[in-house]
Copies of this chain bind each other. A is one copy, B any other.
Amino acid sequence: MSQQAYLKGLLEPIILKLLQEHGSLYGYEITQMVKTLTAGDIQITEGALYPLLHKLESSGLVETDLRTMQNRQRKYYSLTQDGKKATAQALDGLQRFVQHLQLILKPQTA
C-alpha cells in the first residue's frame, strides 16, 4: 500500500488549509509545496488537483485571479468568505478525525 492511498478524501481539506495559511496559491505551486513539505513522500497529482480546484471555485469556496509573471500565466486561488468558514469547519473536523485515528493506531487496553 502506497502512501498515496491514504490521501483519498483528504485532498480538499489540505488545499483549503494551504490557502488559509498562504493567502493565495496557484495549482502547480500547491503540488510543489506538498512535495517539499513531505520530502517527496506525498505527491498531489494534477489530475486530482485541477478538477478539485474547479469544484471549489464553482461551489463558491475559492475565487481566482489570473496573473502573468515573466510570460507565465498563473491562476491564483484564494478563499472567499464562505471558503474561510468552510475551511475552519473542515479543519476542526479533520483534527478530530486525526485524533480518533491516533487513538486506533495506539496500543489499546480495551
Interface residues of A (CB under 8 A from B): 1-3, 5-10, 12-14, 17-18, 21-22, 34, 36-38, 41-42, 89-91, 93-98, 100-105, 107-108, 110
Whether the Cβ atoms of B1 and A96 lie closer than 8 Å is no
Chain B hits for A91, CB < 8 A: 105
Lowest 8 A-B CB distances belong to which pairs?
A8-B8, A8-B9, A38-B100, A5-B9, A6-B97, A6-B9, A1-B90, A3-B97
- Given the complex of chains A and B, what is the CA–CA distance between A54 and B14 in angstroms? 32
Q: Which of B2, B8, B104, B110 contacts A17 (CB 8 A)?
A: B104
User: Known: A93-B1, A105-B95. Contact between A37 and B6, CB under 8 A?
Assistant: no
Is A41 a contact of B96 with CB atoms below 8 Å? yes
With known contacts A37-B100, A95-B105, A1–B21 Cβ distance under 8 A:
no
Q: Which residue of B lies closest to A13 (CB)?
A: B1
